[in-house]
Structure 1
Amino acid sequence: MKILYGIQGTGNGHTTRARIMASALAAEGADVDWVFSGRAPGDYFDMEVFGDYQCFRGLTFVTRHGRVLYPQTFLQSHLSRLYRDIRSLDVSGYDLLLNDFEPITAWAAKRAGLRSIGLSHQAAFQHAIPKRGENTFVRWFMRYFAPVDQAIGLHWHHFNQSILPPLVEPSHYPNECQKGECLVYLPFAHLDDFLPQLKAFPDTRFYVYQQVPEPRNEGHIHIRPFSREGFQADLHRCEGVICSAGFELPSEAIQLGKKLLVQPVIGQMEQQSNALALSQLGYGAVAQVLSEKAIGDWLAMPRQRPVAYPNVAQALARWIVQENAQASGFEALRNELWQAVPEPEVNRYDTSTRPNPTPGAAS
């Protein structure tokens, strides 16, 4: 099977998910070409698994100090270039497009009549899941930013919907819990936005990953440039994680049983909704403002038990390659995967409304 795979390059979660699928698809013998957009080519790192991949400018949100800037996003969109890239991308010779919220390959496949499957967290928002900040524009954007024939959403719980569990990267690091050590990853904020708050807790060692040229230490705060191996080593060793309310890193933290504090990006419906879901499921605490009080309250909380998600990537790759991604087999795949996921614990972080999740496969 010859597959074109389009990846949204904004943040690192989409790329992490792509690495997981790359290994699973290779194990099934699929021939995959990769396209990335939404990030400057020089900002990607640890990309060897994707071989001779292509990069396009694409579309991405402009953020500053943890807030989406919609006027600047529109002004920097370069829609004419996006249109040219869509028209110039040759998708002939492929049997299938797999797409993780990437607009150029999605629209090129649509123009050419190439069958397409979306595999993303964003696709889950086409279903009845916890949402905050949704409106008509957001619904339109989620559906048509990267349109596909079949959209497969991923989430931390099924919510009785036709979605799948997260893809979590296998790791060779032991899952430890060094008390007083925390990983911090806030890619949409500046260091000055949160370092003063972290300095108020000298008994906690914070390992902060940001786009910096070289590592440096400021007492108990250890600032590190992006590094997949270093990041994974610190993630597996730490007691807790402070991060934005994306999807992939919280998924890893949940599976490892790390204490989780998220700060959702202001004005970003997906992150606000993720924060709501984490709170309702009892998987993490939420701080709209990352204050000293919010951090202190969270540090005093107990750890979460690990949630063992199944090997979703392996099951998906097998369904795509061996069963030719037949829709008739998807529900059986979905039920099989959710049966392996334990029911969420009683909520320890929030006493507001919760979903009514049922254990095992959804009815």
Structure 2
Amino acid sequence: MRLFYGVQGTGNGHITRARVMAKELFKAGIEVDFQFTGRAFDKYFDMDIFNGYQLRHGLTFSFNKGQVSYIKSLLTSKPITFIKEVKELDLKGYDLVISDFEPVTAWAAKSQGIRVLGIGHQYAFNHKIPREGSDPIADLVMKYYAPVDIGVGLHWHHFGQPVLPPVIETKELSKKINKKKIIVYLPFEDTKIVIDHLIPFKNFEFHIYTADIVPSPSDFVVCKPLSREGFQQDLVDCAGIISNAGFELASEALQMGIKILAKPLHAQMEQISNAAALHQLGYGQVMHDLDVAAIDHWLHNANAIQVSYPNTARNLVEWIQNGMPEMTADYVEGIWNTVDIKHIHN
């Protein structure tokens, strides 16, 4: 079997999910060509697992002070380049085309009359799940940004809908947690402003992963360059994460029993909805703006939730190999029945 797999590269969550899928696809002996779009070519890192990959510009979103700017996104988009990339991508000879909310792959498949499978969190919004912050532009983006014929949605809970658990890598949990260690990943915020909000908490140590390395006035707040390996090493023994409300990192934190403080991007329906879901499920705390009081409350609340998810990537690969039969209620329920939830007090 030969697959073409397009991945949205604007944030690291889609790439993280693709790494897990790649591992299971290659293990099953499936040949896969990966394509990534949405960020500058020199901003990709730790990509060895993909055994070579294609890069295109695609489409991306622009951000300003922690908020999606649709006007700036439109002004900085390159529609002629995008149309050219769609026309130049030849998908003949592939047994299946997959898109993780990646527009060049999705539209190329559509224009060539090839059925495309969508795997990702965005496709869960085709069902009745927690949804907030919606507006006409957000609805259009979700519908037309990367259209697929079959969409397999992923979420932290099923909400009574035919969605699957997150695609994440199962890690061995650390037996020794540093209760003072906090990872901070707020890539769309001003790093200096983030540091200002952390300075009051001298009894903790903050590891900020950012592309914008700036000097810190205190030794308990450290900026670190983006690194998959370094991030994962810090994640193993940390007590909590402060991050935007992206899906994949929160999924990893839940799997590892790490408490979560989420700050969703303004005007970004997916992240606002994710924050609402975290709050509704009791899986994490939310602050809609950087807030010293909210950070203080969260830091001194030691409760966390651990959700043990199955190997959804392996389930998906087996489902693809079996010809992608209809996901019946019994099939979906059988997968969710393997999920285990525990309350953790670190």
Counterpart selection for 1:337 from 327, 335, 338? 335
Q: How does 1:219-258 map to 2 (within 5 A)?
A: 219-258=219-258
Give the C-alpha shift of residue 114 in structure 1.
1.7
Distance 1:214 1:291 in 2: 21
**What residue in structure 1 maps to residue 9 of structure 2?**
9
Matched, 1:73 2:78: no
Unaligned runs of 5+ in 2: none
**What residue in structure 2 maps to residue 186 of structure 1?**
186
Q: How does 1:157-306 map to 2 (within 5 A)?
A: 157-171=157-171, 174=174, 176-212=176-212, 218-306=218-306
Give the C-alpha shift of residue 140 in structure 1.
2.5
Is the 1:176–1:237 Cα contact (8 Å) retained in structure 2? yes
**What residue in structure 1 maps to residue 42 of structure 2?**
42
Distance 1:320 1:14 in 2: 19
1:49 to 1:36, Cα distance in 2 relative to 1, 3 A:
same
Is the 1:98–1:119 Cα contact (8 Å) retained in structure 2? yes
Distance 1:45 1:215 in 2: 23
Q: How many residue pairs end up in the alignment?
A: 344
SS in 1 for 2:156: coil
Q: Percent identity?
A: 44
Is the 1:120–1:152 Cα contact (8 Å) retained in structure 2? yes
Please, what TM-score do these two structures have when normalized by structure 1?
A: 0.91
Distance 2:262 2:150 in 1: 30
SS in 2 for 1:235: helix
Distance 2:106 2:217 in 1: 43
Distance 1:193 1:214 in 2: 11
1:55 to 1:9, Cα distance in 2 relative to 1, 3 A:
same
Compute the RMSD of aligned alpha carbons.
1.9
**What residue in structure 2 maps to residue 312 of structure 1?**
312
SS in 2 for 1:304: strand
Distance 1:344 1:16 in 2: 24
1:200 to 1:213, Cα distance in 2 relative to 1, 3 A:
closer
Letter in 2 for 1:121: H
Letter in 2 for 1:100: D
Letter in 1 for 2:253: A
Give the C-alpha shift of residue 203 in structure 1.
0.6
Give the C-alpha shift of residue 331 in structure 1.
4.3
1:216 to 1:192, Cα distance in 2 relative to 1, 3 A:
closer
**What residue in structure 2 maps to residue 354 of structure 1?**
none
**What residue in structure 2 maps to residue 361 of structure 1?**
none
Please, what TM-score do these two structures have when normalized by structure 2?
A: 0.95
SS in 2 for 1:307: strand
Letter in 1 for 2:339: V
Distance 2:175 2:68 in 1: 34
Is the 2:202–2:220 Cα contact (8 Å) retained in structure 1? yes
Distance 1:176 1:96 in 2: 44
Distance 2:175 2:342 in 1: 20
**What residue in structure 2 maps to residue 120 of structure 1?**
120
Q: How does 1:59-138 map to 2 (within 5 A)?
A: 59-138=59-138
**What residue in structure 2 maps to residue 325 of structure 1?**
324
Distance 1:227 1:127 in 2: 34
Give the C-alpha shift of residue 173 in structure 1.
6.4
Distance 1:202 1:281 in 2: 31
1:31 to 1:150, Cα distance in 2 relative to 1, 3 A:
same
Give the C-alpha shift of residue 212 in structure 1.
4.1
